[in-house]
Structure formats: structure tokens, C-alpha cells
Structure 1
Amino acid sequence: MFKSNVGTVDRVLRVILGIALLLAFILNPGSEWRWLFLIGVVPLVTGLVGSCPVYTLLGFSTCPMRR
């Protein structure tokens, strides 16, 4: 479906960052800027899928090279 362009370490960091931001969204109910934490969906999804549209546009990849 998608060409993988996100390496293992990058994927793990994206998932951790995404979960942390979504957790901050849940734990800060009174904050008026709380909705900004929903940006955590982006790194979470790109980490789980293994493909980043921005990397594709820039021709960048953190995946190991295949021989």
C-alpha cells in the first residue's frame, strides 16, 4: 500500500511521541490550548504505518538500504 520510508528507531520514537502527546491531551482537561496535543495523531499514525508523506515529498528515508 505505502512504500516504507521510516526506519525502526524513527518508528519507535514517533509512536512514543504520539502516545505522549495524546496522553497530555487526556490529562490536561482545563487547558485552553489542549487541542494542540491532538497533533500527536500524526506521529503515531506515521510510526504505525511506517510511511511519512513529508519524507516521500523530500525524497528522504530512514530505512536501511537494501542490497
Structure 2
Amino acid sequence: MTSNVGGVDRILRIVLGLCLIGATILGFIGAWGWLGVVPLLTGVFRFCPAYLPFGMRTCATKK
């Protein structure tokens, strides 16, 4: 599994995931906030399966 999520993208995913999960735990939003696990995990593992069909990557390519 090669990395396809870069630095800024990674930070945004982790922050968004934590915010959604936190808002769910605090009762600000409903159970759909648990979907924040998806961006959190894609940020932590630096791999987004949705990028594969489009050949996208936000990280630097190795030469």
C-alpha cells in the first residue's frame, strides 16, 4: 500500500475526523458524525482508496 495522501491533506483529514467524532460525543450532531472515522484513518495511514480510480495523489512522488 503506497502513500497517496500528502502533508496538508493529511492534517486536514485528521482534524476533520477528530472534529466530527468530538461533535458526536458532545452531542452537537447525530450518529452520522461517526463517519469522521473515515477521514481520520485515511489521514493516519496516508492512504485514500478513493484516489486510486482517478490516479490522484497529494504527496510528493519518489524519483
TM-score, normalised to structure 1's length? 0.86
* 2:34 is aligned with 1:38: yes
The whole-number CA distance in structure 2 between the counterparts of 1:15 and 1:3 is 19
Q: Does 1:59 align with 2:50?
A: no
Which segments of 5 or more consecutive residues in structure 2 lack a partner in the other structure? none
CA root-mean-square deviation: 1.3
Larger radius of gyration: 1
User: After the TM superposition, which parts of structure 1 deviate over 3 Å for at least 4 consecutive aligned residues?
Assistant: none
1:25 aligns with 2:24: yes
What count of residue pairs does the alignment treat as equivalent? 63
- Give unmatched runs, 5+ long, in structure 1: none
